[in-house]
Amino acid sequence: MRELVFRAFDNEPVDRVPVGFWFHFLPEAETGDGLQEPRLWAENLEGHRRFIEAARPDLVKIMSDGFFLYPALGPLEKLADLKGLEALAPGHPWLVRQAELVRAVTALAPDTPCFYNIFSPSTSLRFLLGREKLLQWLTQSPQEVFGALTRMGRGLAALAESVVRAGGADGVYLSVQNPDPGRVTGETYARFIRPSDLAVLDSANAAGGRNILHICGYGGARNNLAAWADFPAQAFSWAVHVEKVSLGRGKALFGGRAVIGGFANVPGSLLESGSRAEIEAFTADLLAEAGRTGVILGADCTIPSTIDLERLEWVRLKAASP
């Protein structure tokens, strides 16, 4: 499995096109409490175990459920409170516990490439502040927000290094997003947000990871994909159905590097509700448009847990056929 996926990463011919889908394993309300609630760590690991045994995936995106919230020294109620967001020193429990999760998951699938989900510093800050407060502070005091993102970037860079070196992940799946393209211009992103995004990816690369950049379209969010076209990732993922940018067009945009995706991930979409014939036809259309080299089929983002795993197998079987 490892050779198959990394041949796709390297744009080399493959015996069959790899397929990768993933689910969350904890309820949304519990995604940030892994240190305070040890049972969540165990439940997340058990979710991975069940999925790996049942689906036999070509690659595993290890979900950071239970660790969505970057550690803060106190409440973030006023701008000055951003100073409570610090770079995390090696040995910080938030880093250590995630590396332990990664080590436990990779042991479940030693022959399968595993990539750990890390949210970008700006997305992590949005989780803590909420979108409106983040946008307000970024507009009013961009330097203060930039300082917080820089420190968080160092902390998340330490996480990226830890999960690769100590956890045994093959790389990271770095999720980036413009918080609001209508209010955060490309210039603002490039000046105040991009450097911290790059810091995390650079750390993952330096640690020896083969890394995926995911440009997130959660909730229908649109992005200027070109803002990340020069990022040093080995594979790129974006919300094809939100951005209206096909796998083939995206592959050209990202300099011919490997791409991942193709299916919509929202409830009721083809993957969840279509017939086998419809899913097979759509799979064939994706490969006819994007080709079979440097392509991994998947979805725009995490898929609903209600999807029957048999449907994912339909995609893999069709992708394996001539």
Q: Please give the pLDDT value at position 26.
A: 95
Residue among 182, 65, 171, 184 at smallest CA distance from 127? 65
Measured from the Cβ of residue 206, the count of other Cβ atoms closer than 10 Å reads 13
pLDDT of residue 250: 98
Burial (0-12, 13-18, 19+ Cβ within 10 Å), 310: exposed
Which stretches of the chain are assigned E, i.e. beta strand? 60-62, 114-119, 171-176, 212-215, 235-238, 258-263, 295-299
Q: What is the dihedral of CA 16, 246, 214, 197, to 10 degrees?
A: 130
State both tokens at 319: 């992708």
| Phi, psi torsion values for 104, nearest 5 degrees | -70, -40
- Domain residue extents for the chain: 26-263
Asked whether 284 and 2 are in contact (CB, 8 A), the reply is no
Residue 282 CA: distances (Å) to CA of 80, 249, 297: 51, 17, 11
Q: Which residues contact 214 (CB under 8 A, 6 or more apart)?
A: 173, 174, 175, 176, 236, 237, 238, 301
Q: Return the pLDDT at 219.
A: 76
Tokens 């847990």 -> residue: 305
User: What pLDDT does residue 32 have?
Assistant: 77
Listing DSSP states for 229-282 in one string gives TTS--SEEEE-HHHHT--HHHHHHHTTT-EEEEEE--STTSHHHHS-HHHHHHH
pLDDT tens-digit map of 243-299: 999 999 999 999 999 999 999 999 999 999 999 999 999 999 999 999 999 999 999
pLDDT at 30: 82
The one-digit pLDDT tens for each residue of the chain (322 residues) are 799 999 999 999 999 999 999 999 999 878 878 888 899 999 999 999 999 999 999 999 999 999 999 999 999 999 999 999 999 998 999 999 999 999 999 999 999 999 999 999 999 999 999 999 999 999 999 999 999 999 999 999 999 999 999 999 999 999 999 999 889 999 999 999 999 999 999 999 999 999 999 999 877 778 999 999 999 999 999 999 999 999 999 999 999 999 999 999 999 999 999 999 999 999 999 999 999 999 999 999 999 999 999 999 999 999 998 7
The predicted pLDDT at position 34 comes to: 86
pLDDT number for residue 245: 98
Cβ contacts of 128 within 8 Å, gap of 6 or more: 69, 70, 72, 76, 85
- For residue 99, what are the contacts with CB-CB under 8 A and spacing of at least 6? 162, 163, 166, 167
d(Cα 296, Cα 312) in Å, to the nearest integer?
13
The per-residue pLDDT for 285 is 98
Please, are residues 173 and 117 in contact by the beta-carbon 8 Å criterion? yes
Strand order, beta sheet including 60-62: 60-62, 114-119, 171-176, 212-215, 235-238, 258-263, 295-299
DSSP character string of 110-139: TTS-EEEEEE-HHHHHHHHH-HHHHHHHHH
Pairing of strands 60-62, 258-263: unpaired
pLDDT at 297: 98
Residue 161 CA to residue 166 CA, distance in Å, equals 8
List, in sequence order, every residue forming a beta bridge with 171; answer none if it has no partner. 115
CATH number assigned to the domain covering 26-263: 3.20.20.210
CB atoms within 10 A of CB 120: 27
Three-state DSSP class for 310?
helix
